[in-house]
Amino acid sequence: MSTDTLTQTWYMTQRQLMAIVRQPVFLVISLIQPVIWLFLFGNLFKKVVELGGFGTTSYLDYLIPGIVVMSALGSSMWAGMGTLEEIERGTLNRFLTTPVSRSALMNANVVQNGISTAVQSVVIVLLGLLGGADYPGGFGGLLILVVASILLGTVFGALSNALGMLVRQRESIIGINTFLLLPLTFLSSAFMAPSQMPSWMQHIADFNPVNWAMIAGRSAMSADPDWSVVLGRGGALLALAVAAVWLSTRTFRSYQKSV
């Protein structure tokens, strides 16, 4: 990648980040929402740890990685709406008539999504700390959780962008997202220890990338991490992220042909 592409990627990323910071309502909601999840689910399911299999006696400890990953999913899957707006407004076409590197335009989506997910994840981890959560895996474990949620955000952000460029309809993105968000979350270990899930659910969860991110993060955050689990799930997420970005780059090319 040329230095031009790198600096241009940064310019375009900066532009997107600035746009987020300038929408305080959006910013506040995306930070308050995890707090509500933590508070609601933390209290609602407080006693389930007594069932065993959670690896901790504090449900909050168990819940934090679940909420971090769920929030990464919840915010990234709307990325396509922004792309759609840029297409409709003509901003994307304006950039396409300049000599800007085409990959810089696509990279910026990925980098911005990664930075936003990282900030959101760190805030939730800090909120957990305030609420008295314990992180036995230390800084290293938390870092892996954040990386896992960034990878998951990359997967869904890229897919959402591809969908936006392909169907060009807000309704489709809204429909698919509302359809997917809860099943993807509940068919994972977000709220319930895998050993307490019905076995058919466990099998489905094994194929759920949202669950991969939670398992990798949780495992790394435990006092005695199982590194093969972390690497296995993390590697699968990385592969999926690469595939999703490749797909959205392809759709971007087909968008350029359809103008």
Residues that bind another protein (CB under 8 A): 8, 11, 15, 18-19, 22-23, 89-91, 93-100, 256-257, 259
Whole-angstrom distance, CA of residue 220 vs CA of residue 214? 10
> Which amino acid is located at 153 in the chain?
G
- Cα(141)–Cα(222) distance, rounded to whole angstroms? 7
Nearer to another protein, 98 or 228 (CB): 98
CA distance 77 to 58: 30
| Contact (Cβ atoms closer than 8 angstroms) between residue 169 and residue 81 | no
Report in angstroms how near the CB of residue 100 gets to another protein at its nearest: 5
Cβ of residue 209: shortest distance to another protein, in angstroms?
31
Tell me the C-alpha distance between 248 and 153, whole Å. 14
What is the closest distance, in whole angstroms, from the C-beta atom of residue 51 to another protein in the complex?
A: 48
Q: Which is nearer to another protein, 47 or 257 (CB)?
A: 257
Q: Which is nearer to another protein, 9 or 149 (CB)?
A: 9
**DSSP 8-state secondary structure symbol assigned to residue 195:** G
Looking at the Cβ atoms of 99 and 198, the one nearer to another protein is: 99
What is the C-alpha separation between 35 and 186, in angstroms, rounded? 18
Q: Is 160 strand, coil or helix? A: helix
The 3-state DSSP composition of the chain as helix, strand, coil percent (nearest 5) reads 80, 0, 20
In the complex, minimum distance from the CB of residue 80 to another protein, in angstroms, rounded to a whole number:
18
Decide if 237 contacts 155 (C-beta within 8 A).
yes
Residues 187/107, Cβ–Cβ less than 8 Å: no
Q: CB-wise, 43 or 91, nearer to another protein?
A: 91
Minimum separation from the CB atom of position 93 to another protein (A): 6
Q: Measured from the CB of residue 30, what is the shortest distance to another protein in angstroms?
A: 16
Measured from the CB atom, the residue of 106 and 150 that comes closer to another protein is 106
Nearer to another protein, 203 or 253 (CB): 253
CB of residue 9 to another protein, shortest distance in Å: 12
The overall longest dimension of the chain from CA atoms, in Å, is 61
Tell how many helices (H) and how many strands (E) occur in the chain.
11, 0
